[in-house]
Amino acid sequence: MGTELSGKVAFITGAGSGIGRAIAHELADHGADVAVNDISPERAELVSKEIVVQGRRAIAAVADISDFEQVQRAVQVASDELGPIDILVNNAGWDTLKPFLQGTLAEYNKIIDINFRGPIFVTRAVAEGMSRRKSGVIISIASDAGRVGSLGEAVYSGCKGGIIAISKSWARELARDHIRVNVICPGLIDTPLLHNLQENDFGRKVIGAITRQIPFGLGRPEQIADAVLFFASPASEYITGQVLSVSGGLTYQG
Ligand SMILES: NC(=O)c1ccc[n+]([C@@H]2O[C@H](COP(=O)([O-])OP(=O)(O)OC[C@H]3O[C@@H](n4cnc5c(N)ncnc54)[C@H](O)[C@@H]3O)[C@@H](O)[C@H]2O)c1
């Protein structure tokens, strides 16, 4: 089975930057039309224009994924404009690097809202239609932090671990509706998020130390997008409930 996605519609969260933007381009390259979700209208518009230039249909599906009403509206607009959503990529995420005991409650809540509540809301809004149509693919971008833990990212690691567990549960529940659910765990990928994490001394030290441990060096967003394409396409039609690290040899999971 190949990786052709012609006639498919993908909804990608946080697609205005970094990994999400690369995923949008990769799926469009293989024929998908794309709803470019982002909390930033400017970034969503820009990437959706890039996809149109690529020759596919695209819209900016602006929403804060941690606000269920905004999510429902964006999913409705995407379906009205592009057609039913076949592929959901839960990609949007956010973090700040800080020792757990120095984090504020506001920071904990923001991390939980974006990295855990958000994907739950988006999956709820999109999977209903997939369930009715008895077809769909859901891919969540977690993190190796959710598999092995990570210094200065305790709450984020917990959210990503939660995404891994909830995705396996979604895979079990939704298999009867022919919906596949898989998870990709990036290691360290060169994106604006990774740059922001190094704004303070602690962040620079932690990211520098981890980077030195990666046999293949820092990753590129396109390398995550390649794995997403595999899970989005018929090439993985017999695979569900699985977790794949794409981290250049940083971690080795059983
Ligand atoms: N870059 C890495 O090293 C790395 C490593 C492991 C996991 N990840 C994960 O990969 C995903 C993408 O990260 P990235 O590095 O490309 O980050 P990025 O900051 O470059 O892009 C994230 C995008 O998500 C958007 N976003 C943030 N909050 C949002 C919200 N509430 N609603 C909608 N959109 C929102 C941002 O506006 C931004 O455009 C995240 O889930 C992140 O946790 C990244």
Nearest-atom index, ligand 1, CA of 189: 3
For 147-168, write each residue's pLDDT tens digit: 999 999 999 999 999 999 999 9
Nearest 5°: phi and psi at 84? -55, 145
Q: Which of 26, 43, 94 to mutate to test the pocket of ligand 1 (most atoms within 8 A of CB)?
A: 94
Q: How far is the CA of 111 from the centre of ligand 1 (A)?
A: 11
pLDDT at 212: 96
Of 44, 132, 55, 126, the C-alpha closest to 90 is 126
Secondary structure letter of residue 247 according to DSSP: S
Q: How far is the CA of 11 from the centre of ligand 1 (A)?
A: 15
For 206-248, write each residue's pLDDT tens digit: 999 999 999 999 999 999 999 999 999 999 999 999 999 999 9
| Distance between CA atoms of residues 209 and 128, nearest Å | 43
pLDDT at 254 over 80: no
Indicate which residue's Cα is closest to atom 41 of ligand 1. Answer: 93
> Would you list the DSSP string of 89-151?
EE---------GGG--HHHHHHHHIIIIIHHHHHHHHHHHHHHHHT-EEEEEE--THHHH--T
Of 223, 244, 224, the C-alpha closest to 181 is 244
- H-assigned helices in the chain: 18-29, 41-53, 68-82, 105-112, 118-133, 145-148, 154-174, 192-197, 201-212, 221-232
Nearest-atom index, ligand 1, CA of 92: 24
Tokens of 227: 């794995």
CB atoms within 10 A of CB 193: 16
| Distance between CA atoms of residues 235 and 69, nearest Å | 34
Nearest-atom index, ligand 1, CA of 64: 32
Q: How far is the CA of 91 from the centre of ligand 1 (A)?
A: 6
| Distance between CA atoms of residues 46 and 25, nearest Å | 12
Mean pLDDT computed over 8-18? 98
156 is an active site residue: yes
Nearest 5°: phi and psi at 127? -70, -20
Q: How far is the CA of 176 from the centre of ligand 1 (A)?
A: 31
Q: Which residues line ligand 1 (CB under 6 A)?
A: 13-14, 16-20, 37-40, 43, 64-66, 91-94, 114, 118, 141, 143, 186, 188-189, 191-194
| Domain regions of the chain by residue span | 9-188+220-244
* H or E segment to which residue 87 belongs: strand 87-90
Q: How far is the CA of 73 from the centre of ligand 1 (A)?
A: 21
Does domain 9-188+220-244 sit in CATH 3.30.1280.10?
A: no
pLDDT at 253: 83
